[in-house]
Structure 1
């Protein structure tokens, strides 16, 4: 299903090109069809007849001459945000209640013409960045359902990523409105704290929580922001707007971390996509400024290793004391630690945060915007179920400090891995830089074509591995049958990065080469073929590789990495250096 556009739908409904009822029927049909794939994206939906009645009421308002900026636009709401008449569960059935009033932000969106299609799944009590901490089923990445959707706003990201609605509300305390955007190829706007009302939101950390939005483009996020933003006197944490940062001009300063502070947890694709995003933003006029993000990373540790975990405890204290078994075991293990936080620890944490905030403020004197990976990598659902704490923490490496240090942020897509999962980067600014970040995100999208999103994973995507071969397994060579017998598919004929030497090993039958990584000073680019095998085929192939050869990781000339043949040092005993020939085929030809 193609993704829906907020701006396009609103323009068509306002112009009369289609009615709000027609749009609602289309969204209902999309939702019904995707229920065969991921019904767990939702926790609660209104009756279809109620959705259509709301849409017809909008058509009547439009016919009467009302100006509705979001006319007919279908949207979803994370189920820790109140919608009158529908249960709010925060993904905990024992906590559920039916509110009499709709959350302020939701009411503003509905008043502007948006049509609420349902309430979405989440990590329970918005505690998690993976989407797996819920009793309602685990939402998965829309492009590869073996992988996490990201959380805690998992269902909201799936609803937009799968094209079911045009936008969806999430929340963000530690990255929950940004990490799912990255994995599902979306824009995720995390406004300045207090810019959007949090009235009607089940708190995670009330002093840090933000309601957020997922959209397909920065322009769509900006349109939603014009409706949702505003001071709410009923919300103690709402703030009158501060001075808005001006849009960045043709030349601006963009901070990037020191190389030793960038950690992709071994994900080479993430590193490549981040570098490409830097180049894309440089084309918009950015001057790169290397900055020290250590104070930001240290501040991030306060969120779970400091006293702020007690704020999560306070939010569900009664449930934890009276019905602890009703809380998801992973969430309970985290949140119950807040009972042990002392007043002394709290003040020490506040003092430490103030020091980090002063360092962060100084950062904005040297740069206009900070660019970071949204998440360093992504994990399979099976992996986060096996190791629910450490892997979740890894995903928050570059997000956890933002609300603590009162920053604004917008996550944007930056590429798709071979397995289909998305990688994103986040533009971060000081408080009240929201509109400037939205404008820069638009420029980022428009400077050159954005990476094309993969097809939705609707039938289950087979897991595959790319393998480079350099010698006897090349097409037409004696051992090529070991690939064809495993249904390997040729992906590319290419070359390695110019960092390798190629040797003809001595006394091997059939003749085989050894590929050795030597670095840029002494290496050359060597011809290879890249094949794709399923996991079982790759495993059985690898098991048959004889010493001194082995399967490792090979860098290609386009900057990507794949699995491939490498060799132990003993492979060079009696071997002949044939690097100058550029590849094994040329060597075999030279023997004729």
Structure 2
């Protein structure tokens, strides 16, 4: 019998024990039908299509857990495109049928995940509370009178109630973090640009981020790694430059003095203080810091010219369909008309001045730990004062994307009556996404508050996030070992972890090796060759698995140092030069996956 919360460890164990993706889909269908919150989904994937997709996955990859997310059910916020399902952004008149998946959805599907449906949101991702939708207001899984948090409201509830293993949200002002706090979940908010936004209806295009709701930090990080990677079709996409944090003695900045604002919610304040003590017990050095410049930066997002970006995203639709907007959303977006180009530049100047001031605070600390939300409200309270009370939720979240930070939101426990949950968020400089994860995971584990609505379950040991010095060996794969390819199971079965998708340096060429089963490419470095780099993946395996892996590599392939597009060098597959004589070159295709896809289409 499956547990309430469908974490990756539990599902993978079920598959190893003989369950099939079709079995899991039937359970998900039954749970979805029994759900008591009618506002979670805008468009559920029809039952027959779910069954068809499960069967197709079993045909494509028959070996259990042979893909990183083999048979894993997930939900998608309805401002992110899923081919075959409409995108509404919670505005029926805006609805359209996307021709293809958003980049992140395509990558997750290639890794074996199955889309269960499109979830409800604050209309046009404008809000942090989850009540601004004509499809209803999803509720906290702990009390139907309370908001679920937004704008990614439905996504968080699907995970917390056990309908899916993870869900995608988006985060401009905190929408990938506040719903996590209100539903006892983890919220993974990547550094802006780490995960591409192609196929996402923008709120503020320059600072939007696709996020992950998951039961554990380990699950969320694994899913983010599948999604991330540069996409030239997104003008704000960036090539990752991972940044480290101290392995021990982490200096954690906490609120002090007048900047500690909880709007009268003493329960959340007490949980924040308890989180500080847990961090101290885990070896962190607690450092009070001045939040004022961060708060001033946060205020720019809604009380400055950045609100004009929200108008830029929907100006043509607003001009013809103003009556179709949620009244509060319309008020916020139309407020952008008060700003002109001069105000935009003045806002940019102010943000950069504040960035310098926050830099002085960053010199004191390695990481910030803030309340994810300083309070919560009932649906009735929120509807009575929607702009002010929504603003309370964003006090400690709105600055994070503007100041180019990574963040992981984790549960912080329940109030004194054991009724409602709260959360804290660990925030680091750009590209500390992986470096934040071990401490965030430790904070979650020491809390012992379960996952989602199951408050008694224990976080699986298999999802533990190892420290930076994890003893695992990185390896670059280029062909049949890529995600979704025939030999990927040689990495996944011994517990290999996908670290990132990236490209090689420009001076590599790729060839189809003749008479190889399954078909394999040959990667050769040619100094001076000026290409665009080739698609590769970086995985990590145990030293024992790496040794067995290397021992079984057939000639003319071997292991050597592969230079990546960020300049790093990692051991990976290379080919002896003599083997490519007369072989077909496919360098121009950009990678092995493009070649295999082309072959399939021709067949």
CA shift digits 1:272-302 (9 cap, x unpaired):
1001111111121100111101100000111
Q: Which residue of 2 aligns with 1:6?
A: 8
TM-align CA RMSD: 1.6
Q: Which residue of 2 aligns with 1:332?
A: 330
CA shift digits 1:35-55 (9 cap, x unpaired):
xx1121000012111111111
Q: Indicate if the aligned counterparts of 1:297 and 1:401 stay in contact, CA closer than 8 A.
A: yes
Where do 5+ consecutive residues of structure 2 fail to align?
456-603
1:364–1:265 Cα change, 3 Å? same
1:251, CA displacement in angstroms?
1.5
Please give the TM-score of this superposition, normalised by the length of structure 2: 0.73
Q: Which residue of 1 aligns with 2:293?
A: 295
Q: Which residue of 2 aligns with 1:22?
A: 23
CA shift digits 1:429-482 (9 cap, x unpaired):
0010101112211121234533686679xxxxxxxxxxxxxxxxxxxxxxxxxx
For the residues of structure 2 that align with 1:220 and 1:279, how far apart are their CA atoms?
25
Q: Which has the larger radius of gyration?
A: 1
For the residues of structure 2 that align with 1:246 and 1:117, how far apart are their CA atoms?
36
Q: Indicate if the aligned counterparts of 1:187 and 1:411 stay in contact, CA closer than 8 A.
A: yes
1:361, CA displacement in angstroms?
2.8
1:245, CA displacement in angstroms?
2.3
Equivalenced residue count is 452
Q: Indicate if the aligned counterparts of 1:139 and 1:158 stay in contact, CA closer than 8 A.
A: yes
For the residues of structure 2 that align with 1:53 and 1:283, how far apart are their CA atoms?
50
1:432–1:76 Cα change, 3 Å? same
1:247, CA displacement in angstroms?
5.0
Q: How does 1:26-41 map to 2 (within 5 A)?
A: 26-34=27-35, 37-41=36-40
For the residues of structure 2 that align with 1:142 and 1:64, how far apart are their CA atoms?
35
Name the SS for the 2:254 alignment partner: strand
1:365–1:228 Cα change, 3 Å? same
For the residues of structure 1 that align with 2:206 and 2:171, how far apart are their CA atoms?
12
Q: Indicate if the aligned counterparts of 1:143 and 1:455 stay in contact, CA closer than 8 A.
A: no
In the alignment, which of 377, 390, 393 is matched to residue 392 of structure 1? 390
| 4+ long deviations beyond 4 Å | 451-456
1:57, CA displacement in angstroms?
1.6
Q: Which residue of 2 aligns with 1:435?
A: 434
1:305, CA displacement in angstroms?
0.8
Q: Does 1:206 align with 2:208?
A: no
Name the SS for the 1:204 alignment partner: coil
Q: Which moved more, 1:391-400 or 1:446-455?
A: 446-455
Q: Which residue of 2 aligns with 1:321?
A: 319
For the residues of structure 2 that align with 1:453 and 1:432, how far apart are their CA atoms?
27
For the residues of structure 2 that align with 1:189 and 1:452, how far apart are their CA atoms?
15
Q: Which moved more, 1:398-407 or 1:332-341?
A: 332-341
Name the SS for the 1:402 alignment partner: helix
For the residues of structure 2 that align with 1:322 and 1:50, how far apart are their CA atoms?
35
Q: Indicate if the aligned counterparts of 1:144 and 1:419 stay in contact, CA closer than 8 A.
A: no
1:360, CA displacement in angstroms?
2.4
1:27, CA displacement in angstroms?
1.1
Q: Which moved more, 1:153-162 or 1:337-346?
A: 337-346
Q: Indicate if the aligned counterparts of 1:248 and 1:440 stay in contact, CA closer than 8 A.
A: no
Q: Which residue of 2 aligns with 1:265?
A: 263
Where do 5+ consecutive residues of structure 1 fail to align?
457-592
For the residues of structure 2 that align with 1:259 and 1:19, how far apart are their CA atoms?
55
Name the SS for the 2:144 alignment partner: coil
Name the SS for the 2:81 alignment partner: coil
Q: Indicate if the aligned counterparts of 1:42 and 1:119 stay in contact, CA closer than 8 A.
A: yes
1:346, CA displacement in angstroms?
0.7
Q: Which residue of 2 aligns with 1:364?
A: 362
1:400, CA displacement in angstroms?
0.4
Q: Which residue of 2 aligns with 1:47?
A: 46
Please give the TM-score of this superposition, normalised by the length of structure 1: 0.74
1:66, CA displacement in angstroms?
8.4
For the residues of structure 2 that align with 1:260 and 1:11, how far apart are their CA atoms?
49
Q: Does 1:150 align with 2:135?
A: no
